[in-house]
Amino acid sequence: MMDKFWNGRQVLVTGADGFIGSHLVERLVSEGANVRAFTFYNSWNSIGWLSDISQQSLKNIEIVSGDIRDDGCVADACQRCEIIFHLSSLIAIPYSYKATRAYVDTNVVGALNVLQAGRQSDSLERIIHTSTSEVYGTAQFVPISEDHPLSGQSPYSASKIGADMIAESFYRSFDMPVVTARPFNTFGPRQTARAVIPTIAAQLLFGCKELTLGALTPTRDFNFVTDTAGGLIALGSCKEAEGQVVNIGTGEEWSIEQTARLLMQVCENEVEIKSHVERKRPEKSEVNRLLADADRLKSLTGWAPQVKFKDGLEITASWIRENLQHFDPDRYTI
Ligand SMILES: NC(=O)c1ccc[n+]([C@@H]2O[C@H](COP(=O)([O-])OP(=O)(O)OC[C@H]3O[C@@H](n4cnc5c(N)ncnc54)[C@H](O)[C@@H]3O)[C@@H](O)[C@H]2O)c1
């Protein structure tokens, strides 16, 4: 359904070259927005997953490449934008054990750059800052509402908590129109093997004889990517959400093992599961349980997830089947 709010609106999406960002860009274009897509500069001219969207959508967006850590190029990218969706981040948890400083620079300083640029802009109407359910750590109660305590169980989570606090402080100190969107785990086409669902599906589709995974008992609340993008868009047009943190989640909980069993049915390959120590997080760093309370999002915007978990797994598996060149079944990617 077209939402008139977006028609002709100047929108910036950072992290537009990424998994969620590319779906968000597609949806914004279909809503009639004028989208500027901020992509991570590289010398091989890659625009990431934006190369996967239709030529028609691609023609309608302005691509600006740069580095979120650089305040000058972020300020240029924000010029004349009314709504800013900030998604660019380093997001892999295992890599955050190795390159922790890079996570602080990208996720904390990057968010600061976007907020500063927004603050200096005359055109800004709203910033949607993207957080993550990882900031809650293992659930202390379920479902997890926005009042749940925060816990830095990984450097990734800690850097996102830092970014969220900077965003909150800009709302409180400078009356900036900031919404903090907090998606729970997201899956779907264009997600790479660093995430659990593509890792499982790719191994099964390559015809593995046994499935190699990390911990099997943690549970997650999995959003299909178009539903996460829909939640971000709903918040983008919601003035009442300013100054608030808002969860995006389904309210359903699946363990990694249950997810693997469902994917075995979808991929028609029933095998033994082997839990590999190399793929496990350090014990105190593992987030054992995540389950969203998304009532705030529902009452603010009327959002509801559209894609059932099993249907989302079918769509994801068929995308992976058609894109096996992006996957290597013998390599553990982080
Ligand atoms: N995928 C999930 O399950 C999930 C869940 C909750 C929240 N999120 C949040 O959603 C956002 C998008 O995540 P995603 O899954 O699409 O990840 P992604 O890695 O696919 O996208 C992130 C993008 O950020 C860009 N980026 C990284 N460093 C940059 C830099 N220095 N300068 C400019 N761009 C840079 C990358 O090019 C990448 O395309 C992130 O903020 C993440 O924390 C993701």
Six-digit token pair at 99? 């390159």
Query: DSSP states of 222-233 as a string?
Result: PEEHHHHHHHHH
pLDDT tens, residue by residue, 277-291? 889 999 999 999 999
Distance 69 CA to ligand 1 centre (A): 14
pLDDT at 117 over 70: yes
State the virtual CA torsion across 191, 197, 200, 203 in degrees, nearest 10: -20
Domain that includes residue 98, residue range: 4-189+223-252+290-307
Q: How confident is the model at residue 132 (pLDDT cuts 50, 70, 90)?
A: very high
No. of H helices and E strands in the chain? Answer: 12, 13
CA 43/CA 301 separation, integer angstroms: 41
Residue 331 placed within a domain: no
Six-digit token pair at 153? 């169980």
89 close to ligand 1 (CB < 6 Angstrom): yes
Q: Is the peptide bond before 143 cis (omega within 30 degrees of 0)?
A: yes
Residue with CA closest to ligand 1 atom 39 = 18
68 close to ligand 1 (CB < 6 Angstrom): yes
pLDDT tens, residue by residue, 317-327? 999 999 999 99
CA 270/CA 262 separation, integer angstroms: 10
- Please compute, for residue 47, the number of CA atoms within 13 A of its CA located in the half-sphere on the CB side: 16
CA 72/CA 74 separation, integer angstroms: 5
DSSP strands (E only) in 19-82? 34-40, 61-66
| Pair 300, 245 in one domain | yes
Residue with CA closest to ligand 1 atom 38 = 18
> Region 116-123: what's the mean pLDDT?
97
H-helix segments, 254-307: 256-267, 295-301
Q: How many domains does the chain have?
A: 2
| Pair 158, 272 in one domain | no
Residue 333 placed within a domain: no
290 close to ligand 1 (CB < 6 Angstrom): no
| Pair 259, 211 in one domain | yes
327 close to ligand 1 (CB < 6 Angstrom): no
Q: Are 184 and 290 in contact (CB under 8 A)?
A: yes
pLDDT tens, residue by residue, 32-85? 999 999 999 999 999 999 999 999 999 999 999 999 999 999 999 999 999 999
CA 325/CA 66 separation, integer angstroms: 27
pTM higher than 0.85 for the full model?
yes
| Pair 321, 302 in one domain | no
pLDDT at 329: 80
pLDDT tens, residue by residue, 13-26? 999 999 999 999 99
Residue with CA closest to ligand 1 atom 2 = 186
